[in-house]
Structure 1
Amino acid sequence: MTASPEGERQAQYFFIRRPVLAGVLSLIITMMGLLAIRLLPISRYPQITPPAIQVIAVYPGATAQDVAEAVAAPIEQQLSGLQGLLYYTSANASDGTMTLSIYFDVKRNQDLAAVDVQNAVQLASPQLPAAVRQNGISIIKANTDILGVVALTSTDPRYDAAYLTNYMKLYVEDELKSVPGIGNATTFGGLQFSMLIQLDPDKMAQLGITVNDVADAVREQNATNPAGRLGREPAPPATELTIPVTTVGRLQTPDEFNDIVVRAEPNASVVRVRDVGRAVLGSQNYDFVGRLNGRPTALALLYLRTGANALRAREAVARRVAELSKNFPRGVTASVPFDTTPFVKASIREVVITLLEALLLVALVVFVFLQSWRATLIPMLAVPVSVIGTFLGLNALGLSINVLTLFALVLAIGIVVDDAIVVIENVERIMATEKLPARQAADRGIQQVAPALVAIVLSLVAVFVPVAFTGGVTGALFRQFAITIAISVVLSGIVALTLTPALCALLLKEATESHTRGPFGVFNRLFDRGRNTYVRNVERVLRRPRAGLAAFAVVIVLTVLLWRQVPVSFIPTEDKGYFAVAIQLPDASSLQRTEAVVQRVEGFLRQEPAVRNIVALAGLDILSRSSQTNSAVVFVNVAPWEERGKRDALNAITQRLSGRLFGMKDAIGFAFNLPEIPGLGATSGVEGYLQDRSGRPVSLYASELQQFVQAANQLPAVGGLQANFRASVPQLFVRVDREAAKSMGVQLGDLFGTLQALLSTLYINDFNLYGRTYRVQAEAQAQFRQTPADIGRLYVRGANHAMIPLSAVTRTEFRAAPTLLTRFNGFTSALVTGTPKPGRSSGEMMAQLDGLIRTRFASEGLTLAYSGQSYQERTSRGAAGAVMTLGLIIVFLVLAAQYESWSLPFAVLLGVPFGVLGAYLGVWLRGQPSDIYVQVGLITVVGLSAKNAILIVEFANSLRSQGVPLLQAATLAARDRLRPILMTSLAFIFGVSPLLFAGGAGAASRHSIGTTVFFGMVVATGIAIVFIPLFFRLIQGAAERGSAPRESSRAER
């Protein structure tokens, strides 16, 4: 409801009479904002990654099928119904490991989610194999916000990868964890120390020793044995000493383990570990090989703590690594070869530069219109107060400085000057037309525009505030942007009602004749001519309402057509300054063979002059996040953006590299961008799981999967789709003759245990070294586990202690089976990843894949479930429309309360489609998809379109209340409000124009949001303001005819 004139007069007189107080309030807001900047965390994106919990279990010696059925399935069955659960996926590998990843809604507390998962695992524990429980089940709160990688390398050949990995684990990892801002540091790979009891099956058979005999001896003799104290209480009188008693405890050296007695005979013959093998200090496993720029290395992944400042954390890591380096062995050096913060720093720097450019362009536009440095200074002072003061609000609400909040501030520069421009333009108009001094003109001017200012502020806030209540990742992204805009708009309204009228009274001079010569004279003449043309067009539309409504209908139709025509995407792909290369060799390839291919790929990369660091991990399948000896991943950092030309843009580098990779005959490799938002999937393209809900055999499912991939790659929008599932990997199947085994007195448990221990590893117990606890494991020496025939030469104890070779009770045969079995939401699945063709969007690709499933594969029991970034894109579809609809409803209610009318707000809201048309037209012309930044821009355009309409409708309604005829009121409002509308709109349009032509880090997102708001406001300013007077006349006229038809008719006459 509009405040009374007396209330407005009293409030404005107060700040005009107390200009120092108005200035002090603005200074306090600015100073508090500056202090808040130092406290706010800085990152590329806010904390928007869905919380994830990982469950890791090991079933030594088991196949992928065994792990999926015996380990993954029982745990997954307990996950149903967990609060906030989105989906879960398990990777079950042939090395016996299961990695179950469980993803929750972004609003779910990760600590509480971890407790829920732990309870689910406890419920499933009785159903799990004993070997799995013995090895332990790890439940990890996954941190996906990778800050970088610390590497240890050495020029001294004595310090191999195993030494460096353990040195990292012992002396570096914990130090990195204690760095402020670091959430976790994890040494990659399994090369940490382990005491390996490497057994000789031939010697064991000769001496009648089994694996269980050795394991029992180690457990007995490598144990902590507390003995007590002499003289402990209660003790006899006069006891003078209390002496602790110690005895042999855990062993530490290989010699001590070699001396363990496995068997002692009455005749004094003794069999020790060294008689049936040897104990060596080795590594827990050798599944991964780390390399940095072609040299073996130890790698530690650094994760950013939630809410931490990424840039400060990176600087603190550099200082800590420099301190630690002083104590490294000679020849060992540390570096940070993979670092995500340069992209964060460069993105923020580019946005800040854009922000300064916008500020200068806005100042130029304001100066051209006001044609006085004094007058220009007044609205420009509103910018630092509103923009810097916004950081105070961000800090109070627990938000961060990121690209979204900075984008919001870039747009806010063109918005926050609006309120001040409206005030000063009206004050100058009164000074010129009524010849009043500045003080009186300021008082009268603020009274006239205060209701419009309140309506504008409330309407803009009403558009953005509902965004804060949307859920999911999309809602989290929207929330940062919307709250930033809302805070700046509120502050600009406060400044316009306090500081601006005070400055007008102090700084503005007496009205002088308008400029008639020079550049300003040319501008004024052009403006007057343009205003006359505009008024004539308004009158023409007012006289032909049917034609105007027909034109408006065309706008609606075009908007819908463009909305359907523009492809949909989630988030634009950026040149982040780093990328990855996935490498896959033929099935069953050894790790040594994979490492040789990695070296060739490193050679390809060194041919690119822009490549700086190459971090390689042989043995890791990045897509499934599992250990695979025939897979590898390479992470590549390139030169900074300012040092690279168009030829060395990230897309150009990956395209050239992919051409070389496709030429490899013994491996498949492809380069790809990592996800735009860390933690949302493995790649930046389309990602999903093809689920088999019919329970068919794996071989039949693999055939259907191959047909799906082939058909998908023929779709118009699909640039390339691949699946990481193969069911025909060679495996050696050991068939046990149970009757023969039982007839020879062989226990089947001993037989299978022997296979597991000698062909895999048997975890026995632990030992201590360097103040840490490591595993003691038994395994066969390498030469006894190379060929299928070696299995037959293993022995197991039978009846009468006879040693029976496995060749007597087993047969071996090669079979085809998967080395990795993936499950998604409890169903056998395969991860499929791909990218759309150039000019096509991920939304188009997903729509076509869905259509393919419906028409050809749904009847076969196959479904496609999206994950990662694609899941968020699918679930966020329609979120922007719902948010805009809710925003428009709240704007309508605010305006209804402001005007005390249910009909008049429609005159404002009918101007919104013009801005939406312009936004979609710009996006379509530039060949961009409708991504999340476009949706954010659309919300901004909706608010600003309503703002322009409010300026006309508010003034027209005021004239109408004074008795001015309806048609004349609409025309006069359009004429008198044109100047402030053009000033505010052009200030915004020129302010966001640098976003259209942005380069460097984060350019794609700036192009997306810049295109939307630029073209949207051009159309909203150039076309919509011609139709707003018509909407006012029709709606207000209809309202008056409905309430008082006779009075309305007389007014019209």
Structure 2
Amino acid sequence: MAKFFVNRPIVAIVISIIFVIVGIVAILGLPIAQYPDIVPPEIVINTTYVGADAQTVEQSVATPIEQEMSGVDNMNYMYSLNANNGELKLYVNFDVKTDPNIDQVLAQMRKAQADSKLPSEVRDYGVTVKKSTSSPLMLVALSSPGGTYDATFLANYAYINLNDQLTRVPGIASVTVFGAGQYAMRLWVKPDQLAKLNLTVPEIVDAIKKQNTVNPAGQVGSEPVPAGQEYTYAIRAQGRLEDPEEFARIVLRANPDGSLVRLKDVARIELGSQTYAMSGRLNGKASAVLALYQLPGSNAIAAVDGVTKLMEEMKNNFPSDLEYSIPLDTTQSVREGIKEILHTLVEALVLVIIVVFIFLQGWRATLIPALAVPVSLIGTFAVFPLLGFSINTIALMGLVLAIGLVVDDAIVVVEAVEHNIEKGLSPREATIKAMEEVSGPVVAIALVLSAVFLPTIFIPGITGKLYQQFAVTIAISVIISAFNALTLSPALCSLILKPKKKARGPLGAFYRGFNNLFGKATNSYVKLCGWFIRKFAISLVLLAIMTAGIGVIGKQVPGGFLPEEDQGYLYAGVQLPDAASLQRTDVATRDLEKIIMETPGVQYCTTVVGYSMLSGVTNTYSGFFFITLKPW
């Protein structure tokens, strides 16, 4: 094999170029994340039974769905959250090895089997089945610095003008607006008037449903018509009611004396908010908080950049005294982490080249490993899309470690070729002879290193999922390095290497000094090894002491699943006693906001009153804080 590429070096160079091109193309299309996707897929089923309490929701909605969902393929467990505002969230957790898309389809099919058992009000409201997203990718806050707009206006501006635009950004799965409900026509019924006129709330609801409708009225002059008809007109009748005055004229009942009972006779009508159970603030000021959730498997950094670009464009259309800010961007730590690892990667590559240059003592010999290492590292990314991997800190750390491994194969080849050149052979003959000697060891080294790392992929559960990419990245880079050592390295050796000439000047003096020092160190090491071999018992005792010391020290080192890192943001939640009012919760969150904002290092404090991200449920006695720290 090596002889083929020595005789045809262009073929080896072209293969390496293809490796690099495919790797670069893969890099541009790979998702970027902090860690591999290790979270087991989770599907959430969400609906609302308007007006029902938590127990009613559990008995009439959650139980039928849970009964049908039980036993779905590859399910780990499920749990439901039922709130007093009628909301149901049923979470179904699946095995980490499953495909989230298939899990969603299976959950959707099981939910459909329960539809006939659900109340008609729930079916009319709608039951959604989607992939669960635990925490937002980023927050966008709308505020009015001058106080021109209230929270209801800000929230509805987000609903009307931003929500659809943001969900169309690649990588954004959904947008949730915290702060206030959407605009709605509020009907404040007068109980005394209802009793006096012998009317009930269901009768009012029925009248509104019947009279607040879209009314198709057909056409005038459409076929068949008598001869001579020249125009056809579409009739547009009044459709849905739009303002309080129109709602006020809704007829509830016609009395025997010919008088009419209208909605305005029994209720006060005004344009307000659909719900008053939640409010949002940014640094203590009223705000509409948009939580953007990432689409699983997408590029987090690209999604955040797309949202930032869109908001800059939308900013030009904002009314006066309306501003936006991004109080939370969870990709900041990802950017910094990847930036630091890339910096380390470059540093390691440069150091490896310097060390190789010092030991091989020639730019020609150094150039071959310097070219082989990037080919192995970049070519590794070509396999990532096939395995479903992403660019993350674990994979990049694997590449940093792999630098010291992939350079060995090229050094072995170069050293063997130079040794044969020193015997008087031509570079081509020396390369062929050297490859006959080292091809076996190169392949053996690659197989041994792969055998060391690849068993990691068989570790079950989340731990195996996390370190699988680390091990596979190193194994692939080592295999590509071995392939390069059998193709590219011998081809370059036959083209580049020449018989060495004795170096002169300062560089020659440096080489001689280094060789003398290294020779002395080698001789000392050999003598020390000989002493330990002769004193076999002492060697075993020292080995036992070192092993015991490692065990003792290892037990004292704190353990953890992942190292703790400064993410640049914090989450905080507050929960008051059950049934505490929203006003009481609002007062408590304002006191906590003041403490948070006075803490050194805090840049933003985004507050959502009436919502708990820990449970994902809206209630009156919970509040949540997104705390963003100043750039570190």
Q: State TM-score, norm by structure 2.
A: 0.89
From 484, 491, 494, the equivalent of 2:480 is: 491
d(CA) in 2 for partners of 1:277, 1:593: 29
Q: What letter is aligned with 2:630?
A: A
- Partner residue of 2:441? 452
d(CA) in 2 for partners of 1:307, 1:77: 31
> Is the 1:438–1:509 contact (alpha carbons within 8 Å) kept by the matching residues of 2?
yes
d(CA) in 2 for partners of 1:162, 1:594: 19
CA distance 1:35–1:529, shift in 2 (3 Å): same
- Partner residue of 2:411? 421
Once the two structures are aligned, what percentage of the paired residues are identical? 43
1:370 has 2:370 as partner: no
d(CA) in 2 for partners of 1:560, 1:72: 51
CA distance 1:113–1:40, shift in 2 (3 Å): closer
- Partner residue of 1:349? 339
SS class of match (1:376) = helix
d(CA) in 2 for partners of 1:136, 1:550: 73
- Partner residue of 1:607? 598
- Partner residue of 1:217? 207
> Is the 1:383–1:413 contact (alpha carbons within 8 Å) kept by the matching residues of 2?
yes
- Partner residue of 1:268? 258
- Partner residue of 1:165? 155
- Partner residue of 1:945? none
SS class of match (1:146) = coil
1:315 has 2:329 as partner: no
- Partner residue of 1:937? none
CA distance 1:96–1:190, shift in 2 (3 Å): farther
Per-residue deviation at 1:534? 4.3
Per-residue deviation at 1:331? 1.2
1:443 has 2:432 as partner: yes
CA distance 1:636–1:628, shift in 2 (3 Å): same
d(CA) in 2 for partners of 1:133, 1:12: 70
- Per-residue CA deviation, residues 417-454 of structure 1 (Å, 9 max, x unaligned), is 0111222233344555x465544443332222110100
d(CA) in 2 for partners of 1:95, 1:596: 22
- Partner residue of 2:564? 573
> Is the 2:612–2:622 contact (alpha carbons within 8 Å) kept by the matching residues of 1?
yes
Which aligned pairs between 1:278-297 and structure 2 lie closer than 5 A? 278-297=268-287
1:480 has 2:451 as partner: no
Per-residue deviation at 1:561? 7.2
SS class of match (1:417) = helix
> Is the 1:435–1:511 contact (alpha carbons within 8 Å) kept by the matching residues of 2?
no
- Per-residue CA deviation, residues 699-742 of structure 1 (Å, 9 max, x unaligned), is xxxxxxxxxxxxxxxxxxxxxxxxxxxxxxxxxxxxxxxxxxxx
Per-residue deviation at 1:123? 2.9
- Partner residue of 2:267? 277
> Is the 2:597–2:604 contact (alpha carbons within 8 Å) kept by the matching residues of 1?
no
> Is the 1:197–1:279 contact (alpha carbons within 8 Å) kept by the matching residues of 2?
yes
> Is the 2:203–2:252 contact (alpha carbons within 8 Å) kept by the matching residues of 1?
yes
Per-residue deviation at 1:134? 4.1
Per-residue deviation at 1:199? 0.5
- Partner residue of 2:584? 593
Per-residue deviation at 1:374? 3.3
Which aligned pairs between 1:501-516 and structure 2 lie closer than 5 A? 501-510=490-499
- Partner residue of 1:77? 67
- Per-residue CA deviation, residues 146-182 of structure 1 (Å, 9 max, x unaligned), is 3312221123544211111111111111111222333
From 6, 15, 39, the equivalent of 1:25 is: 15
Per-residue deviation at 1:543? 6.7
1:531 has 2:527 as partner: no
1:151 has 2:141 as partner: yes
Q: What letter is aligned with 2:625?
A: V
CA distance 1:480–1:221, shift in 2 (3 Å): same
From 607, 620, 630, the equivalent of 1:629 is: 620
d(CA) in 2 for partners of 1:193, 1:610: 37
SS class of match (2:57) = helix
d(CA) in 2 for partners of 1:554, 1:74: 64
Which aligned pairs between 1:847-926 and structure 2 lie closer than 5 A? none
- Partner residue of 2:109? 119
Per-residue deviation at 1:577? 0.9
SS class of match (1:197) = strand
Q: What letter is aligned with 2:75?
A: L
d(CA) in 1 for partners of 2:46, 2:29: 37
> Is the 1:620–1:633 contact (alpha carbons within 8 Å) kept by the matching residues of 2?
yes
Per-residue deviation at 1:338? 1.3
Q: What letter is aligned with 2:43?
A: I
- Per-residue CA deviation, residues 357-415 of structure 1 (Å, 9 max, x unaligned), is 21122223323322333333322222222122223333454533221221121111111
Per-residue deviation at 1:460? 2.2
- Per-residue CA deviation, residues 919-941 of structure 1 (Å, 9 max, x unaligned), is xxxxxxxxxxxxxxxxxxxxxxx
CA distance 1:568–1:590, shift in 2 (3 Å): same
Which aligned pairs between 1:356-395 and structure 2 lie closer than 5 A? 356-395=346-385
- Partner residue of 2:216? 226
d(CA) in 2 for partners of 1:359, 1:57: 54
From 91, 94, 108, the equivalent of 2:81 is: 91
Per-residue deviation at 1:277? 1.4
SS class of match (1:194) = strand
- Per-residue CA deviation, residues 658-714 of structure 1 (Å, 9 max, x unaligned), is xxxxxxxxxxxxxxxxxxxxxxxxxxxxxxxxxxxxxxxxxxxxxxxxxxxxxxxxx
- Partner residue of 2:391? 401
d(CA) in 1 for partners of 2:367, 2:59: 73
Q: What letter is aligned with 1:510?
A: P
Q: Which runs of 5+ in 2 are unaligned?
A: none
CA distance 1:375–1:613, shift in 2 (3 Å): same
d(CA) in 2 for partners of 1:13, 1:244: 83
- Partner residue of 1:338? 328
> Is the 1:193–1:281 contact (alpha carbons within 8 Å) kept by the matching residues of 2?
yes
SS class of match (1:297) = strand
1:49 has 2:61 as partner: no
d(CA) in 2 for partners of 1:221, 1:389: 67
d(CA) in 2 for partners of 1:631, 1:122: 33
> Is the 1:51–1:109 contact (alpha carbons within 8 Å) kept by the matching residues of 2?
yes
d(CA) in 2 for partners of 1:618, 1:544: 73
d(CA) in 1 for partners of 2:388, 2:106: 26
CA distance 1:374–1:229, shift in 2 (3 Å): closer
d(CA) in 1 for partners of 2:17, 2:453: 26
Q: State the Cα RMSD in Å.
A: 3.2
SS class of match (2:487) = helix
Which aligned pairs between 1:743-762 and structure 2 lie closer than 5 A? none
Per-residue deviation at 1:605? 2.6
Q: Which runs of 5+ in 1 are unaligned?
A: 1-10, 642-1053
Instruction: Give the total of aligned pairs.
Output: 630
- Partner residue of 1:109? 99
d(CA) in 1 for partners of 2:544, 2:407: 33
d(CA) in 1 for partners of 2:74, 2:559: 27
SS class of match (2:298) = coil
CA distance 1:328–1:102, shift in 2 (3 Å): same
Which aligned pairs between 1:884-1033 and structure 2 lie closer than 5 A? none
